[in-house]
Amino acid sequence: MNSPKTQLPAFLIADLYKSNLVLVTGVPTPITEKAVAEKPAAKTVKPTKQAEAKEWFLGSNQKNITLVVNETGARYLKDDSLQFLSSILSACKLNLGDVAIVNYHQDPVDYLLVKEKLAPRFLLLFDVTAKQVQLPFTIPFYQVQDYDKCQILL
């Protein structure tokens, strides 16, 4: 039985392979041995602070919605979880570019760091407690809690 093929959105692919994709402008020229020999040595480029800062979350955070998950065995989310999350976001007329996904298992973050770097208006915690992200209170499951200009849901 063949499983259906999942096609990732272009912004997600570009985000995953940002240091490996090459954008070419103009007319492409054929590569010859002479052109390769004449090509100057590639410069070593260090990632910018902005690029380094983005590695700990997935997505573009365009709508300031932060999802903190606790997923073992994956950098951000496993494929089936990512597919499920994408379908939930689609039902809400959102996509992965609108959110920031942080895997607490890979990068244990606290609320202050998330608030400083991502400025969430909405914070959704999946399998992560308020205590783990160092919130000064507890929140019952499925109850929205307003705190510091942010709505938090476990």
Tokens representing residue 26 in the block = 């103009």
pLDDT digit string (tens) for 67-77? 999 999 999 99
Tokens representing residue 150 in the block = 């942010």
Q: Is 120 left (phi over 0), alpha (psi -120 to 50) or beta?
A: beta
pLDDT digit string (tens) for 97-132? 999 999 999 999 999 999 999 999 999 999 999 999
